[in-house]
Structure 1
């Protein structure tokens, strides 16, 4: 079952500031990521690692509410069925906790970079199971905190705290294998708002939890409006759906969030044909997940195949047929190849 112990009280921060050094990562790794000529928006092969998780998912058929959501999402274009946990509203367990995903062979690998993923508001965390497994198969530890609202910065704080605890626990399979110096915040909808808020907190908030904690990137998906780009502290790729009728791509994701991302490298990618439910689809039918992997491979591991989509004058992301349009700011323009 998901981790239920949240540790110490959480720090609130409303006056936020920060800058980031716009340099490319130095680390390199060969973990099977090789999109080659295949567009990233279609690239959905699992990585080389089998995965494990702390909270198994199952068919949503036992929940009338979740079944209705599954059918409606598939009506609007999702190609995979949703998976459910037993947490409310899909089940009768408490609607808060943390689910972990990690490479099954993590004991034999070096410390793994981290994804802290925030589900959408009111969404079952199991609905993002395919994305979490996908990232874990490429050697990432994924923490998925949830509290039903999933829209405020306690989500990321809980994620860092529980990962720090797991890394220090000799009885935990992730003991000593969580690289808290390479943390990404990712989230969908309300969780996208939490992602941006977490990426805007002063870095010392996370160092109070664990001195090793360092946030290196963020990817808000179809984010809620209560976040603003000027406060971001880390390189951020804003992602939106060009057919999203709930979070209009040309409204706050563009003007309130991307165009105000002025102090860190920033991108805005609009996924062709994607509506608000597409981030709950499974790869390769979910470009949000695959493009996020490329962003993380570039920033966390210095992967050259991934880097060519984001840096240099001939960057390839604008030519990906799955992207209707993409922008990057002047600080992203200046990132070295």
Structure 2
């Protein structure tokens, strides 16, 4: 009940983020239900399992978006006076998890209603049964399997939120004194392993062994997610190299301080963009017809990834607001702050765009031979 009241009284931007999570949850639920009905109507087709595996991509990006929105929610942050009324760190973590569960469950309910409406099971509304053939309206809808698939997003998002936001022992000095984030070597290893798996399992086209291609791309995506903080940290060091001035020094220090927060969504965006480069290179000469469900899945992945990156950027900007105010108080010109922001954006684009194109080209090489 408290989570519902906080959701009703939240800022419009926070409500918009939660609405995005609910919409993404609805889209993933609809994809899972469509995959279920395809498997029931085509029991002899082994591609149904592959379709279910491909649904894991929008599922993962939706869970990642839900965790990011929960982490940036001001209603679940520790504030003075909350501990006195019984809202300590553990209660706030449980509140964030409950809000995530409520938002994702709402999206799953919308997905079920929309699915039943397009099948023609619900009448009295426009477009009744408009997709009855595609959704196998002649097949009965199994209730246990339906509820299990619809519970995937709320369950995974709630567990992930509770794990990420769980109270930890504060050790700010150790975190500030560490060097480059430690995930860089592991990320490079996973990227190389993912490219190797994709090269080994593919035979000239991604349609021949889609499960192997999916496994290779998943490993590459996880590797880029781990690489993101380290690359962002190195971008900050790059800005401060060769006798830096005040602007480059400020921009580099900010990138190094924000690498742990901004790096992971940058790595995920790099993975999604490299996947798009791979698909373009593999099917550029022979365009493949995209079904509505494929378009929906790709749209979910891109929108969720972009929203996660934008939400994280807003979060880190708010986190350094006090430092920005202090710089203005001591007389720092506004032009220096704007130039520092432009330098940060420029060096990130300069480094991550070639990385994306390189990974995409290497992933597309075995698919175009």
TM-score (norm 1): 0.26
Greater share of strand residues, 1 or 2? 1
Tell which structure's C-alpha radius of gyration is larger: 2
Greater share of helix residues, 1 or 2? 2
